[in-house]
Structure 1
Amino acid sequence: MKRTLLPLNALRVFDAAARHVSFTRAADELAVTPAAVGQQIRALEDVLGVVLFRRTSKGLELTDEGLAGLDSLREGFIKFEESVQAMQAGQASDRYTIAAPREFYGMWLAPRLAAFRKGNPGARFTFHADEDADFTEANLDCAIRLVEGPGDFEGIQLAPARKVIVAASDAGPDALEDWIEWPGAALPEDAKPVLQVGNAGQALTSALAGLGRAILPFLLVEDALADGRLVALEGPSEGRRSYWLVAPRPQWRQAKMRALVAALSGEAAA
């Protein structure tokens, strides 16, 4: 059966006016003018074909028609509130579904999720290695992508866009001259790569193995530089792309997302 399109805003105004038996006090509650309340009531009366209020010498008064529907209307608004609370229940959830590049997960994200769990021991995570996964199909809370900006999503940059040329700390002289090429970083014009790979993760793994030097995002290799697995041959310098944590706008209003973003962005800024 086709449902009637209800004038919900006008019904909300009617509920407030009926509770206060005053357009002025209803207007104060709803943060509108008394004239706007009166306009909504008249429009609702036109839709329903009944008179809801009458003015008497004692002031405003509900008609029998207005009284007849009031209890059911208020029960309906309570149901609406319960429905909204049920839909928002995920905001308090401790489960996160995150998409990120595999190498970034291993080198940067996983240690920080472990630190996050120390303060949130009930947190549970599901990881997708495809950072470009569809949010709806994969039921993602957020994604971390190596991009120039958040695009159509809301996002926060985890660190400034910086790049660095790195090699394994124990790489031999030949490896320090050899280049590892991947699509996300343009090599110098005279460079002749000895190895071509498909992404930053493969370039990082190759550099760590001593196969040559690579241009990589600084955030990706920061920990490996700090613990001595890699050495910086040049940079860091300004780059074009950086790691962004992105999600559709509704996700950003979730309490659990705000907690995670605060933890990750705090780590990045430290």
Structure 2
Amino acid sequence: MASPPDLATMPMHAITEMYGEAGLRERFRLECAAFDDDARRRLGAALELVARLHRDDRRSHEPYLNHLLRVAIRLMHHYQIRDVEVIVAGLLHDAVEDHPAELAGAAYTGDDPTAAALATLADRFGSRVARLVAAVTNPPWDPQRDRNEQYREHLVTSLDGEPWARVIKVSDFTDNGAGIVHVVGPKVVALARKYRPLVSVFRDLVTRPDTPLSMPVRQHILDQLDLAEERFVAILDRPAHRTSDTLP
């Protein structure tokens, strides 16, 4: 598509609403223009892979790829990340969790699709990309545990020693959290309940001295976390939702 004159500065959810996946792809291309040829090739290869893996996936009213594009664009534009491996891992952050067998391909023997998928990522994009994706990949749910409690514990443990994985995950969380107003259907209440206790976790992770973000970027993220929490509270404090997950 031809680039609208304001596409490079439009909020990403506005691009999503006005131009859809094509607009986000074009914004991604504009952000990638700041990188050298090799970096653009690697970013393009990662985008091509996730577009194939998530081709049938939907997120509320939109293609799932839109979420992955917004996570990567946020890393480049708002977080000013120029580490290509981090951006590649941002694009790929759900690939192993959602499509391990398809990603692993011939390497999948039926024993451990997650390990095989991570090995495939290491072969294609390097061991660091695979390690970062592993850090943001949820383990299988233990039915003996509360699902949200297990998710929170996993975040705290897996991100503790992976500062760059924190950056990827906070971009993911921001898209999910501040962007919750764009979610439709009864799932929005369950998501608000899942995400609200995590705001304090991400505040801690973002403000740690070893988290590789500038002070202005940290403040931008903290503002986004405040906005997300306001939205969670607004959703959960609606009288109709205090005892029900059903939207009116």
TM-score, normalised to structure 1, is 0.22
Q: Which has the higher strand share?
A: 1
- Report 1 or 2 for greater relative contact order, CA contacts < 8 Å, sequence distance ≥ 6: 1
